[in-house]
Structure 1
Amino acid sequence: MLFMQHRQLTEMPNVRLPDLYETEQRLAAHLDFGMYCGAQALDMARSIFEESPTRGEVSMFAHVAMLQGNKDFPELIGDLAADPQDAVAAVGHAFAFCGKPVRRDYLGQWIHSDNPFLVRSALEAAIQHRLNLRDLLIPLFDHADSGIRTRAFEYAGVMGLAEHGPRAEEAAGDSAPDVSFAAAVAGCRIASGATIVPLLSKIGPSSSARDSRLATEVAFLTLNEENARDHVRALLSDIDTRRWGLLALGVIGATRTLDFIISDMAAPEFSRMAGWAFSMITGANVAEDDLELDEFPDSPDNPLLEDAPEEDAIEEALPWPDPERIAAWMAENGSRLSSDHPMLFGLARWSYQDIDTTQLEFQGRFRAVAQAIAMQSPDRRLPNWRSRVFLQDRQFRRDWQMG
């Protein structure tokens, strides 16, 4: 349960570092206690997993097994997991709570395995924790397993491996949808936006909400405001993509769009996303700056979120903005917002370089700033906005450059 809770918290825009730190410490304590039980801990973790083979149970079983040097658990997970794709992510998540020697041992074995599940898990761990695969990556771009190809391109994009940009550009036309999506994202990051057209086509009902969100973030950091205008207009004009159009406005960071964003706060189905776009540009915190409605309306039915539990949870975590209070805030603070540069949380986007992570506070800000930093040059690594939190000099921090 704690593994699942931790993973969910990393996706929530309003979660603070102390909240993550507390959950990580509780999880680490549970794992440490389990290790004292030796073989009994492994048997118990396996029994719980077999009874309910979902993400949290997969992560717990994988973690205990790795720390005890068990080599057989991946095959069992691959055979029994309720969702094999989710299981790969869960195994990668478990790596975060293992020491470097354990990671290195398993990564080296799995990346050379004939078992696709093991190779996918190794790549997932390398992606989540920014582990160095060196030249081991190259043959994986042509692997017969599409899940391996997908993660190979995702890894190249996350790690800023610009030398693989041409491969990503070519693979953006792959017949496997997951491969083409990962390659299109990577191409925008490491091939100077060469895959912008296929990536823009991934935004909308034909893709998952998770993919549409990522595609919007990356694509509209690739385009300048002038080139983005028609694409944003198209997203905003369709009820099925208006959510992503509002997110795109936040990503673009143009202060001249704020009046439009505020006007969309009157529509309950778009109000909270409009509030997030407003925050992305201005840096205002709708909840903490007393810019919320006094009474929250019921969440409207939204077909986009019905089969997207993660995106639905993000929506529910966002505050309800009060258009009148927002307008009053703008009257008082709007003059300090520059119209000469794309803005991100009240600062010029280009000003985010090696920012002190104590300044970001919230997961939503970590994610947005990480994406912006990664797009500054093709060889720039995506900062690890999900990395573990530590306490130093009475401040909560994360080593997000190194993972």
Structure 2
Amino acid sequence: MSMRHISEGPSLVVYQHAEEAGFLAELRAQAVRAPHYDLDDLRTLDERLEAHLDGLRIAGRAGLDLLLRQLGAQASGEVFAATVLACESGDAAVLARIAEQLRAFPETGRGFAAALGWLDWTSVEPWVERLLAAPEPLFRRLGLEACGRHRIDPGPALPAGLAHAEPGVVARAARSAGELRRRDLMAEIRAHRRHADEAVRFWANWATAQMGDEEALEPLRRFAGQAGEFQWRALSVLVGWQDHAFSVAWLRALAHNPAQRRPVILGAGLLGDPLAVPWLIRQMHELPLARIAGEAFSLIAGADLALLDLERSEIPDFDAGPTDDPRDPRVAMDPDEDLPWPDPARIAAWWQANGASLETGRRHLLGRPLDEAQCRQVLCRGRQRQRNAAAVALARLRPGEPLFPTDAPTKRQQVLLDAHG
């Protein structure tokens, strides 16, 4: 890049703001599901992101034009930043340019939807109304997602979405209906229980299960046994809505299959019954399962492995992948990368000294009996995956309230938490 180009275009500072805003937007999308971020960490990340967005706002048109030039196949973060600026300024021409980007690269729509969720509802409402009325399924789906992120009922657009021909629209409508607890749409959602599209099938059953539909539990059990994006969500709903004794027996039956040990570990942690702790400690000896077993133990017992010195003194020589070898089938990133390595002997000793205070046969969350007060405490103090578990559990205890949005901007989350003391 020549100095002449720099002098005539945006300054290096503006380039930095654009780069950091895009990077932090992508990082935030991962952080809201990460095991090592708590609400304070997320708040710090939000403040950093907002600071770079402020820098782009100050840069004016130069900052926005820079973002638009950077759009492309891998530009979800840039789409996020450009959408924020365009919605705030009411720039329909820029939003039309972003729409072209979304048509060409639909996968970057996640940045667009995140931006609509980031902004205050008053800033995005006019644009969301246009999306909900759009003839293109892509934009209809994004409008429904924006409403879901804000926990705003889209009105007639929701049943219209459930009746849409495009599976992506139907799936998003079912999810939003579940998040909003639209029991009046139960029949319309249940009609998609056996839909050919996997996402539609999952979100339809996920939504109605949390409205008391017992027939939705069996389809969710199939999702719980399959690795993939729906597994954790299926498990969290199942352990909340199934009979406790049934869940214990179901997980025990799954545990007989070695290939199902990971979902059983996840389910045991979410179920929160101290009865599972000795088995979880045994799983910590197996390196591929050790860290997720440690997380499940903490979810039940409330023991912070790092704070209580319950980690291994040396990190094991274990590589979950991926590698540079094209013949290596391990192409996915290590799902437990951000979890500590538990020391089974230290944890067993700690449990021997402290475990008697937790009653077997009863659900616990971070060391305390699971109730509304503890769910709200974890939403305030827990890490993101713990907070996600608390949100689902709270939805079971408060079935008339929308699902708590643990991925919302932290300012909005704090308002919701403060409203309940």
What is the TM-score when the length of structure 2 is the normalising length? 0.85
Alignment CA distance shift 1:302-1:44 (3 Å) = closer
Distance 1:58 1:139 in 2: 27
- Give SS of 1:240's match: helix
The partner residue of 1:12 within 5, 9, 34 is 34
Distance 2:380 2:48 in 1: 25
1:174 corresponding residue in structure 2: 195
Question: Are the aligned partners of 2:205 and 2:216 in contact in 1 as well (CA < 8 Å)?
Answer: yes
Alignment CA distance shift 1:358-1:222 (3 Å) = closer
1:293 corresponding residue in structure 2: 312
1:364, CA displacement in angstroms? 2.1
1:195 corresponding residue in structure 2: 216
1:151 corresponding residue in structure 2: 172
Bigger RCO (CA 8 Å, 6+ sep): 1
Alignment CA distance shift 1:318-1:29 (3 Å) = same
> Does residue 1:25 correspond to 2:42, yes or no?
no
- Give SS of 1:355's match: helix
Distance 1:284 1:353 in 2: 15
> Does residue 1:224 correspond to 2:224, yes or no?
no
Distance 1:401 1:110 in 2: 32
2:67 corresponding residue in structure 1: 45
1:326 corresponding residue in structure 2: 347
1:306, CA displacement in angstroms? 4.2
Q: Which amino acid aligns with 1:96?
A: G
> Does residue 1:399 correspond to 2:416, yes or no?
yes
Alignment of 1:244-323 (within 5 A): 244-301=263-320, 306=330, 308-309=332-333, 312-313=334-335, 315-323=336-344
Distance 1:128 1:299 in 2: 38
Question: Are the aligned partners of 2:151 and 2:180 in contact in 1 as well (CA < 8 Å)?
Answer: yes
Question: Are the aligned partners of 1:62 and 1:73 in contact in 2 as well (CA < 8 Å)?
Answer: no
- Give SS of 2:257's match: coil
> Does residue 1:65 correspond to 2:98, yes or no?
no
1:356, CA displacement in angstroms? 4.7
The partner residue of 1:106 within 127, 131, 148 is 127
Distance 2:375 2:287 in 1: 37
Aligned length: 388
- Give SS of 1:90's match: helix
2:364 corresponding residue in structure 1: 343
Question: Are the aligned partners of 2:379 and 2:387 in contact in 1 as well (CA < 8 Å)?
Answer: no
- Give SS of 2:299's match: helix
Q: Percent identity?
A: 26
- Give SS of 1:114's match: coil
1:398, CA displacement in angstroms? 5.8
Distance 1:49 1:5 in 2: 18
What is the TM-score when the length of structure 1 is the normalising length? 0.89
Distance 1:193 1:384 in 2: 24
Distance 2:403 2:198 in 1: 23
Alignment CA distance shift 1:219-1:352 (3 Å) = same
Alignment CA distance shift 1:359-1:59 (3 Å) = closer
Distance 2:253 2:330 in 1: 23
Distance 2:269 2:62 in 1: 50
1:211, CA displacement in angstroms? 1.1
Alignment CA distance shift 1:53-1:66 (3 Å) = farther
Distance 2:389 2:383 in 1: 10
1:275, CA displacement in angstroms? 0.7
**CA shift digits 1:20-64 (9 cap, x unpaired):** 1221111111112212222222211111113x5332222122222
Alignment CA distance shift 1:324-1:302 (3 Å) = same
Q: Which amino acid aligns with 1:16?
A: D
1:308, CA displacement in angstroms? 4.6
Question: Are the aligned partners of 2:79 and 2:98 in contact in 1 as well (CA < 8 Å)?
Answer: no
Distance 2:285 2:415 in 1: 37
Moved more, 215-224 or 163-172: 163-172
Q: Which amino acid aligns with 1:333?
A: N
